[in-house]
Amino acid sequence: MKDKVEKALEKIRPMLMADGGNVELVEVSADGVVKLKLKGACGCCPMSQMTLKMGIERILKQEVPEVKEVISV
């Protein structure tokens, strides 16, 4: 599942990079929890949690149905 998540993140990264940010995959647990670290401008943006939940999590769940939740570490 980690490879599928990484491929989906590759589709998301250009949008984050356009705003000076990025995302790093930290861990994918067996129960479908994906741990990500927002970097660059995304790491300190006040809207980062919305980006994580409404953007990244939504896209990852569409691309990889096994994903149950995305959390920031």
Domain ranges (residues) in the chain: 2-72
pLDDT at 50: 86
Which tokens sit at 34? 């994906």
CATH fold label, 2-72: GMP Synthetase; Chain A, domain 3 (3.30.300)
Taking the C-alpha atoms of residue 17 and residue 20, their distance in angstroms, rounded to an integer, is: 5
Neighbours of 16 (CB within 10 A): 20
The residue that leads in pLDDT, 62 or 41, is 62
Q: Which amino acid is at 1?
A: M
pLDDT computed for residue 51 by the predictor? 87
In the predicted model, is pLDDT for residue 66 greater than 90?
yes
**pTM as predicted:** 0.88
The pLDDT of residue 43: 81
Tens of pLDDT, residue by residue over 15-53, are 999 989 999 999 999 999 999 999 988 888 888 888 888
